[in-house]
Structure 1
Amino acid sequence: MVLLLIFCAPLTAIGEDLLYFYTHARTFDANLKRSEYEHDASREILKQAYSKLLPEVSAYAQHVNTRDRIVSSDNTLFAKGTTYYPTDSYSVSLVQPLFDYSSFVGVSKAKKELLLSDARYDAERKKLVLHVAGAYFNVLAAQNNHHSFMAEAAAVREHFELVKGRYNMGLAPVTDFLDAKARMLSVNADVIASENMLDDAIQALYKISGQMGQNFADLSPEMVLARPEPASPEAWTEMALAQNLEVLAMKHGVEVAAKEVSRLKGDHYPVVTLEGRHSWDDTEGTAFGGGSEVRKEELIVNVSVPVFKGGNTNSRVRQAASLLQAEREQLREKELAVKREVRVSYLGVLSAMSRADALKQTVEAQKTAVEAKREGFDSGLNTSLMVMDAERDYHYAKRDYAAARYDYIIQMFRLEHAAGKLSDTDLTYINQFLEQS
């Protein structure tokens, strides 16, 4: 993994960490299970294609009871009357294709379809890594947001009680009292809203993993961020075009469509089969007397030459050719999208790094500002509103700093996913830097 996180020392994750939810998601996520069943089903495609080149054996048996009634006959040897007799017939035939161009191409197409299925399944597994990480860090961000609002609410409530006491003693103006009360009601509403957002984030993680979670491990505060390696969006783009699983799947899809065009063109060519047939008919009588037992062995070469099918073959070839062009355009569109995704994610990593560095200093500065505003309020230099604004800005900075750290991880995961490098080992690497708060 090229995700570079530098810590003073690795920490051991405890409780409901990233790997905990990912492990459950691998057996719970509906999209992955659907993809797995589709992948298993695709294993039969090649067997079905080969079956059209193998011998086809069929057996036939029949027993007939016949009643013949002679009403009249010019032959004086056969009198009028009714005759009953059984007939037993058996046959076994074997048909072996000698030349069937469409079936031969069908095998080649089936092999390409297997590669397509493998790429799609691998892409879905890689998506699960990204989805679990995204959902998990969304929970951490919502949890941090909620805890921050609760801390702000506690600080504002404490300040409100202080202002209220001073107001009751006539030491603070009514504006300070009303400002403190309004701010307390506002932040209480923010606490409720943030709690709902946290619940929604937990539900999103549950949808993927089947686990609700209560005690989430958080990123270590000692985390230091580093630039992606290689330090060039062009290098990442080159990797993505060569390794991105969705791009690879679409390339295989183009190859499958091309094989389908060739397969349908084969309907213009003759089909040659070799047929061996053994039959036995045993008739124990006839209307005119006497029975027979006939055994027959036949070796037949069949040549079927399509001459005209009402234009159906040409129409299907034209249809498949158009679908092939559509697949190529879809591939081109996907490559452009991947290039954009790589660039956006790469710049997102750098942006998250810059924000985190700046916000870390902002948090320290805002903490000092709060202390200064409180001292100024105690000495009568600052108003109550100035103190609460400082408290709000301090908690905003803490929330934004935590969010920037989470965003760095997610943007780096997106970058690696776009480049086709993301795997569950990346989760293991990040997981060692999670700890219980």
Structure 2
Amino acid sequence: MTIKTTFALALTAAVGLAACDGTTNKATPERLEALRTEGINPDRRAKEDQRFANTLARANSIAEVNADFGQSAVDNPANAALPDLLQNALERNTDIGRAAQNINRADAERLNAIFGYLPQVSANFTRTQVRSRVISSDNAVFQLGTATYGVTTMGATVTQPLVNVSRIFAIQTATTARTIAEVRYIAAVQKAIFDTTDTYLAAAASKMRMQEYQTRGASLGRQAATEMGLADSGLASDQARRALLSEQGQVQSDYALEAANYAQLLGRLSALTGTAISGVGAVSAPGGISGTEGRMSVAQAVALAEKNNPEILAIAMSVVEADLARKGAMAADFGPVVDAFANIERETRGGSRFGGGSKTQEMTAGVQVTIPLFNARGDGLRTLNANVDLRSAVVDYHATRRELETRIAMTLERMKQLSTASGQLSQAYRAAQANVQSERDLVASGQSNDLVLAARQRLASQLQVQAEVQRVEYLRAWNELQYLTGALNTNALR
């Protein structure tokens, strides 16, 4: 090869590389500015929208998904009951639906792994046109060789793996992955139940606080009006009325903030259950849950979680899956592979250099043994990555278990503190109620007035609602403990 030729080839290669680089840098500032201001091209958007509509309209398994999850949000009454919402969550929660599809995917991947050990059958057909002309030859017969003819080749190949340990491990790995998908489906169901219940309880507590703010605000408004009447008659000063109006304004502000929080909780509850929710109903706690934190230690709760919590089960099985994948990688890197094969081919030539055509049939059968020695596939050793993946899976298991232990300990401590707070509030409420009754007797005997009585009633009402909210918070903590230990179900708060 001459220097000129070499230079020409190098120049051509450089131009080609420059052109390839240009094709990967089409996001020019002008194009990006047009996307920001005008969006996607309307014609292309219309085509993609039509393809999307056609895909959803197919009468296959997609239709079942559309029937389950494609409906509009179903309205619920203003005081939606928790059992009904839990049932809606089981039927319409998208995380549960996605987990179910993951089971289908795991089934398909296991079937494909099994196919890896079944016969591999393929057929081929080739049609070519040959123009043959002998340029030069010292063979007198070949000097006559000029022909144009067609060639048709048909064949079939069958390969049956006899010994392939890596594919056996692939089947075992896929079987374990299918079990993991099933466990993660259970985890998705329990997570949806927990989130729905927890959000419902939080909304119920928010509703209680809103009602208490309304009651307190109305009482302050009536008392301020009374104070204004007394001020007009010279029996009181405007200072007391302004103080009452100031407190009323604070209560109204608290009500507005709580209403915003309540609306946000209803929105989250709607998303979890696939239903339009305008309000929640009353909450009743199951019998026998009080004092759970005293009857169960952290160690007992952790033992239950390790046995029943689906997230722990799934991450433990992931360690097994990673170990099987490591063994499969070792077999692929170092294990011999034995395949039986058979090949049949029929060739029809319409002519030849010598003028005549031919039909031939050839059959080949045998056994092939492949022994990987070093870097047989040209991509290194899979075992190296598989070893790291296994250690990472073990780290994930310990991290998940440690997090679970921490959450269980914190939840039990939270339940203990909430029990104490609820007891203190109950005592304070009973004392406030006694004061209300004493003040009512004083009013009846003319030794007090309705203004003082109203203040004592507001305090008693406030303490009562706070005690109810604390009970709901305890119920939320108990619900979380059930979720963490794997004992949560749809009947827990019926």
TM-score band w.r.t. shorter chain: 0.7 to 0.9
Map 1:141-180 → 2, pairs under 5 A: 141-180=205-244
Specify whether residues 49 and 394 from structure 1 end up closer, same or farther in structure 2 by C-alpha distance, changes over 3 A only: same
**CA-CA distance at 1:273 after TM superposition:** 0.7
- 1:101 matched to 2:170? The reply is no
Deviations 1:128-172 (A, max 9, x none): 000000111111111111000000011111111111111111111
Amino acid at match of 2:362: K
Deviations 1:207-242 (A, max 9, x none): 212333235220259977533399222322211111
In the aligned structure 2, how far is the partner of 1:420 from the partner of 1:222? 18
Matched-pair contact (CA < 8 Å) for 1:264–1:313: no
- 1:303 matched to 2:366? The reply is no
Amino acid at match of 1:271: V
In the aligned structure 1, how far is the partner of 2:285 from the partner of 2:307? 36
Where relative contact order (Cα < 8 A, 6+ residues apart) is larger, the structure is: 1
SS at match of 1:95: strand
User: Which consecutive unaligned segments of at least 5 residues does structure 2 have?
Assistant: 1-76
- 1:243 matched to 2:308? The reply is yes
In the aligned structure 1, how far is the partner of 2:288 from the partner of 2:227? 41
In the aligned structure 1, how far is the partner of 2:78 from the partner of 2:222? 34
In the aligned structure 2, how far is the partner of 1:206 from the partner of 1:261? 44
Map 1:211-222 → 2, pairs under 5 A: 211-220=275-284
Query: What's the counterpart of residue 123 of structure 1?
Result: 187
Higher deviation after alignment, 233-242 or 343-352: 343-352
**CA-CA distance at 1:350 after TM superposition:** 4.0
**CA-CA distance at 1:70 after TM superposition:** 5.3
In the aligned structure 1, how far is the partner of 2:263 from the partner of 2:209? 12
**CA-CA distance at 1:123 after TM superposition:** 0.6
In the aligned structure 1, how far is the partner of 2:479 from the partner of 2:432? 31
Query: What's the counterpart of residue 197 of structure 2?
Result: 133
RMSD over aligned Cα atoms: 3.1
Query: What's the counterpart of residue 253 of structure 2?
Result: 189
Amino acid at match of 2:395: E
- 1:412 matched to 2:478? The reply is yes
SS at match of 2:368: strand
Specify whether residues 213 and 285 from structure 1 end up closer, same or farther in structure 2 by C-alpha distance, changes over 3 A only: closer
Specify whether residues 187 and 75 from structure 1 end up closer, same or farther in structure 2 by C-alpha distance, changes over 3 A only: closer
In the aligned structure 2, how far is the partner of 1:60 from the partner of 1:181? 91
Map 1:78-97 → 2, pairs under 5 A: 80=144, 82-97=146-161
In the aligned structure 1, how far is the partner of 2:488 from the partner of 2:472? 17
TM normalised by structure 2 equals 0.76
Deviations 1:336-367 (A, max 9, x none): 22222223333433443443344334333323
In the aligned structure 2, how far is the partner of 1:110 from the partner of 1:205? 36
Matched-pair contact (CA < 8 Å) for 1:95–1:273: yes
SS at match of 1:425: coil
Map 1:311-350 → 2, pairs under 5 A: 315-350=381-416
Higher deviation after alignment, 279-288 or 28-37: 28-37
User: Which consecutive unaligned segments of at least 5 residues does structure 1 have?
Assistant: 1-12, 432-437
Higher deviation after alignment, 74-83 or 248-257: 74-83
In the aligned structure 2, how far is the partner of 1:371 from the partner of 1:112? 68
Specify whether residues 79 and 173 from structure 1 end up closer, same or farther in structure 2 by C-alpha distance, changes over 3 A only: closer
Higher deviation after alignment, 340-349 or 133-142: 340-349
Matched-pair contact (CA < 8 Å) for 2:201–2:283: no
Query: What's the counterpart of residue 284 of structure 1?
Result: 350
In the aligned structure 2, how far is the partner of 1:86 from the partner of 1:380? 122
SS at match of 2:276: coil
Q: Percent identical across equivalent pairs? A: 19
Matched-pair contact (CA < 8 Å) for 1:71–1:80: no
TM normalised by structure 1 equals 0.85
Higher deviation after alignment, 114-123 or 15-24: 15-24
Matched-pair contact (CA < 8 Å) for 1:55–1:97: yes
